[in-house]
Each structure stands twice: as structure tokens, then as C-alpha cells.
A and B are shown apart, each in its own frame.
Chain A
Amino acid sequence: MFLLETQHIVKTFGEFKALDDVSIGVREGSVFGLLGPNGAGKTTLIRLINRISRPDKGELLLDGHAMTDDDVRQIGYLPEERGLYKKMRVGEQAVYLAQLKGLSRREATHRLRQWFEKFEIGNWWNRPVEELSKGMQQKVQFIVTVLHEPRLLIFDEPFSGFDPINATLLKNEILALRDKGATVIFSTHNMASVEELCDDIALINNSRVVLHGSVSDIRKSYSNNLFEMVVDDGEVLRLTVPEGQTANDLLSEQLKQHRIVSFHEILPSMNDIFIQTVKEGGQR
């Protein structure tokens, strides 16, 4: 079932409608991609989920009940623009942020030590944050986000600023958390990682949800009947099924001329779908 559901959310700032009738559902235990061009309203929606601000209309449901302030404890949020107190020591600061999420000092310290070991930053505990590299600061921020073991994790561009090794480390940690039962909302412009990680997506453009569903369904629905065929002499052919015919018709046609090694459909990439949808809708 849906862990998080938004129903007909409207949020305006003055004359400006930041969110207009936004309804999405995030299945429990899934990775959900929240996509959209810059300024579409993603951050506004995330802030509503975090109860930093309130919708003008509509409802937010967590586990089927209307969200309350206490529910933020079940959420971990890693914003795109993120920072730490530069002068504070790393460990002390992480404990402080964990305590704000409701962990006791002892429990926070205990869990942090484990995470710091795992991310190999254990000996940075007593150093001021300003001495850390940007990548290491991001590791600390990630740890602080997940430390209180929230049911719902929201990552906004989590991989930006990471080198490929650390990005992979982080990706694996996110998937591990999902496997342990956490639900992940994932906001990014990197469509390759959407295809790789996300089960479902919602695409927001001009304050409205323009695309919502599972990644595979969406890609299928955007099929332009393009197939790729490899014949025995290694030649690769791309063919479009003509109007009024099926893929089977095309294949039987081709079988008469070639010995076929493989034949499969080329679905449009999320990148293509994103660009196509946003262009159709017109970008602000």
C-alpha cells in the first residue's frame, strides 16, 4: 500500500501557484522518483511532506492517516542545498542533529560510531567540519539523514558532488535501506539513475503532475514501436513497426531475409520521455 499519499495538493505563494492539484502515491518499500525541470515545484512538495510549510488545499497522508507534526520523526531528508556548522566538531554536530530528531545522546553516539566506521571517517570525529572535504561533509550529511532509521527517506540530488566510488557506495547504502523496509523518494535530474533505481516516478511540470506511474509502464506507454535486430553476420538493424502492423508481422517479414540472432524492443529512455513531456507541456 501507499506509505505516503498526497491528495489534490494546492500551494500558492502570493499570485504564484507553486503546486496545483498534485496527487501522488508512494508505495511502501519502493524507490520513488520525483522528477521535473528546475522550478517545477519539487522542493515545495518536499517541504510540504516535511511539514516545513502547509498546503493551501489538499491532504497529505502517511500510512493512511493525515500527517501530524510527530510524523516528521519518521522522515529523513537530505536537501539538495545542504550544509553543516563549519566551526563545530563533526561528531558533536552529528550527535546534535540526531538529538533534534529525537534520539538520545547515548543512542546517537552509538549508532554514529558504527556509521562512521562503515564510511571510513571514524578518525574525523573530533575535527571541525571546515577541515573536511566536500565529499566527506556529504557523507556526514547522509549519515545524519538516515541515522534515526526513518521509514521515509527523501534524497534531493544525493549523488551530486560525489566521485564515482563514493556515489556507488551511497547508492548501495540507499538500496540496502530500501531492502530493510525503508521507502525512498528520490529527486534528481540524472535520468540514468532514475532508470537504474526507481520503481515509480512522478513528473511535475509547471506545478502539475504530468506523468505518474511505474517506470516500466511509462516507458512501455511511450513506445514508438522501434525494434533492434541483430543478424548472424553481426549487423545491427533498427526497424520501426509500420502503422497497422504488429511486431510479429515485422519479425516474420524479416525472418524471410535474415538469420536473426536477437530481436528486442527499444523503449525510449527516461531522458527522452522527460524532454518530450516537458517540451509538450511548455516550460516556464
Chain B
Amino acid sequence: MNKILLVIQREYLTRVRKKSFWVLTLLVPVLMAALYAIPIYFALKPMERSVVLVADESGLFGGLDLDDTLRGDSRLVSTENVTYRYVANLDYALRQMDGDAEVDAILYVRSRASEAIPTDACLYYKSDMPTQTMRFDVDKQLQRILRNRLLQAHGISDDEYALISNTKINLRTEDLETGREAFLDIKTGLGFVLAFLIYIVIFMFGSQVMRGVVEEKTNRIVEVIVCSVKPFQLMMGKVIGIALVGLTQFLMWVVLTGVALTGIQMSNSELFRQATEKHEVTELATKGGEAVAQMDQAAQFADVPQMVEGLAAINFKAILPAFLFYFVFGYLLYATLFAAAGAMCDNDTDTQLFSLPLTIPLLLTLLLMPVMINAPSGTLSQVLSIIPFTSPVAMMLRIPFGVPLGQLYWSMALLLLTFPLCTWFAARIYRGSILRYGIKNRLFKKKSK
């Protein structure tokens, strides 16, 4: 028993001391923080102002009225990001653009042959593509002016129009038991992420076990070690040691990511206060139902807090322990098999033959995810989340949608029971193969004691 602890200690310490371990440990939180920070950065970054020359030969967008007397709803209005300057015609605009480096684009609307409403406008540019902000703004304003013209022509008041355009059906999916919104989209996304994540960690740490075994075998240190330690102890020491490495890394990821995200929130507290406010306004609007103005106000805020609201609806207290359980036991199940496969290999190139086929059950489950996501509680999902070799991935996909406790317990119990069986089987192969090389290895694999 003491010896297995020594093996665990060595496996753990040699890996944790490696530079690559720390690089990976730091890299993941940095990536997560970046994912989180980039949208915030762009929300805060002051936009460059673009200058657009408007050559409206149709006169519909205020083009023939160069003295600014028209109301804002009949012409393009300069905004924070875009400045509009009306010019008489395209030729003049083109000359202006050549002479003035500040001009970014020309909006050109052709003169009308008939009284028909024009449906064609063009944004000319040179070398630098117009920014998305500029294109959106031009498009939005053109639509607005056009809409106002049509409303006037048909005698519809602004209030009437607002009522028509703001009244929508909001289709929600609600759980009868909890009465809460289901947020299926977010759960689907989370399910995919969790399932991929668990596959990646099982594969990553499992192949570390295999590489460790092959290393010992190819450099022949195993010949010395099995004289002091039973092969089973050596194998389990390695499997457990690497499991601890994995847990350490995972824990650091969680903590460091948490710290990084909190830091980002703190340094941008104003933005987050706004986001929270929007969330509250939305709540109010949905509850009140009547307030069109409030809806409008709510729509002004960014789309992010919708996500936050959805995330809040997910039961993280159930997901984290489940992830940890399926990570640990899924890893243990596969790690012993990886160790056995490693013992049968003579060199690193052999391991490449083994490592992918070993995880075929998990890969298959990943491939079936689109089918399962369509019916998270369907027969396929249920079967795959019970079989121990596929359950880590399948269960992670299902967990965000809520899994009946009975099924969860069955799945966990089967995984727990399969682990010792798998270990026993793997230990037999490991013991029989670890000291055999080349052809001999294959010949006597089965019969050895």
C-alpha cells in the first residue's frame, strides 16, 4: 500500500512540475477570460466616425433639399458613428471623395423615372471596406425614411404603426413542475460544450496514462520497478496519480477562470450594472405585458443578458458534481484500458494505433449528439447514458435538460461497478504484456499468468 502511494506521488509530482502543465493551466483561464472580455472591449471601445456623402438624386431621402429644413424623419441624420453630408449629385461626390481623405463612402440613390418607390441604393467605397456599423446605420436610416413615407402616403399614424410592429407572440417553453422557462437553446449549447469537454479530458489524461506506460516500457525501467512493486500497483499508481493531476488542473481552471471573470466584471462594473438593469426591465416588461415603451427600452440593451438570464435558469449545483463524477470515473474506466493498451505497445508509434479506437464508444456518442439533442429523454439518449462506456458523454449532454434521478443513479451505479471489472481485465493484460516485446508479446499475450 505504501508503495502505491510512492508511485502516485512520483507520477503526480513529475507531471505537475512540468512547464507544459503550467502553460496549459494558465492558458485555459486566459482563453476563457478573453472570450468574456472581447465583447465587453468592443462595447466600450469608441468607434471611429465615418463620413458618408449622400448623393440622393431621387429626392426621396431629402436629397434635393440641401438647406436642412426637412424634419429628421425625412432625411439621413448624423449619428455618433456616422456623419452624413448631402451633396448635389454623384459627380460632385466623386470629386469630393478624391480630394478629401476623410470621406469613407458615397451613398447614391438614382433619380426616379416614374413615381414608383425606389428599391435600389448603392454605397460606393474606395480601398477601405465600409464598416459594419456604417452599413447597418445607412440601412436602418433608409428603411426608416422609406417607412415614414409609406405611412404618410397611407395615412397611418406613428402610434398605430408602433402598436402593429411591437406586438409579437413570445413563444416560451415552460416546465410544468417548476413553472420556469426552459431556455432550450442555451441548454443545448451547454450540453454540447459539457459533452465535448468530458470527451477531451478523458482522452487527454487517458492518453497520458498510455504514454507513461509506454515510456516505462521502452526505456526498460519497468524491468527494475516490477521487482519492487507489483504490476497492478504500478498501473494503479499511474492511473490515480494522473487522475490527481487532472483534478488539480481542473480545479485551477475553475478557480483561475472565476478570479479572471470577477476581475473583468469589477473593472467594468458600469457595464454590468446596465446589463442587470436591462434584465430587470425585461422582467417587468414581460410581466406587465402592456408597456410598449418599456419593451422598446429593453430592446435597446445588448443581447448578452438574455444569455445570463438563461444561464441563471440552469441548475449548476447539479451539473458541477455530475461533471466531476463522470470525469473521474469515466477517466478511471478508460485510463485502465489505456494502460493495458500501452503495455501492449513497444513504442510511441504503436500507441497512435490504439489510442483512437479505444475511445470509439465515446466518439460514437459524440457523433450521435445531434440525434440525442432532438430528444434528450428519448430511447437513444437513455440507453447511451446507462452504458458505462458511453454514459460520461451522453449524460453530460442530457444533464442541462434535467435527468430523472432514477436514471442518473442507475447510470452512476453501473459506471461504479464497471470500473473494478475493467481494472481487473486491464490489470491482467498489463501484467502479461509489460515485460514482453515484439512478436513474443503478441504470441503469449493471452496465456500468461
A residues apposed to B, CB below 8 Å: 13-14, 16, 47, 50, 52-54, 72, 75, 77-79, 81-88, 96-97, 99-102, 141, 144-145
Contacts and interface: CB of A to CB of B under 8 A. Distances in A.
A145 B229 CA distance: 14
B97 to A, nearest CB: 64
Contacts of B229: 100
Given A14-B443, A14-B444, A47-B435, A87 B14 contact: yes
B225 interface: yes
A97 B225 contact: yes
Given A14-B447, A85-B14, A97 B228 contact: yes
B219 interface: yes
B435 A52 contact: yes
B14 A88 contact: yes
Contacts of A52: 226-227, 435
Contacts of B218: 83
Interface string B147-168: 0000000000000000000000
B6 A99 contact: yes
Nearest to A56: B449
Given A85-B14, A88-B14, A50 B221 contact: no
A77 B7 CA distance: 19
Contacts, number: 66
Contact of B224 (A82, A87, A99): A82
Nearest to B230: A69
Nearest to B5: A99
Give the one of A13, A75, A102 with max B CB within 10 A: A13
B3 A85 contact: no
Nearest to B434: A52
Nearest to B231: A52
B223 A82 contact: yes
Contact of A101 (B14, B219, B228): B228
B448 interface: yes
Given A13-B448, A14-B443, A96-B10, A75 B223 contact: no
A79 B443 contact: no
Contacts of B216: 85
B314 to A, nearest CB: 42
A46 to B, nearest CB: 10
Contact of A13 (B215, B225, B447): B447
Given A53-B449, A96-B6, A82 B220 contact: yes
A84 B435 contact: no
Going nearest first, the 9 A-B pairs with the smallest beta carbon separation are A83-B219, A83-B220, A100-B228, A79-B223, A14-B447, A13-B444, A81-B220, A83-B221, A50-B227
Given A81-B220, A83-B221, A84-B219, A100 B3 contact: yes
B220 A86 contact: no
A38 B162 CA distance: 95
A50 B227 CA distance: 6
B9 to A, nearest CB: 8
Nearest to A69: B230
A3 to B, nearest CB: 17
A77 B225 CA distance: 10
A86 B220 CA distance: 11
Contacts of A102: 228
A83 B217 CA distance: 9
Interface in B267-286: none
A193 B216 CA distance: 31
27 contacts: A13-B443, A13-B444, A13-B447, A14-B443, A50-B227, A52-B226, A53-B449, A77-B227, A79-B220, A79-B223, A79-B224, A82-B221, A83-B218, A83-B220, A84-B219, A85-B14, A85-B219, A86-B219, A88-B14, A96-B6, A97-B224, A97-B228, A100-B229, A101-B228, A102-B228, A144-B224, A145-B224
Nearest to B6: A99
Contacts of A77: 224, 227
A99 B226 CA distance: 13
A13 B439 CA distance: 13
Contacts of A50: 226-227
Contacts of A84: 219, 221
Contacts of A79: 220, 223-224
B6 A100 contact: yes
A280 to B, nearest CB: 27
A5 B239 CA distance: 37
Contacts of B227: 50, 52, 72, 75, 77
A52 B233 CA distance: 13
Given A75-B227, A85-B14, A97-B225, 6 more contacts: A16-B444, A50-B227, A83-B219, A83-B224, A96-B10, A97-B228
Nearest to B222: A83
Instruction: Name which of A16, A52, A101, A102 has the most chain B CB atoms within 10 A of its CB.
Output: A52
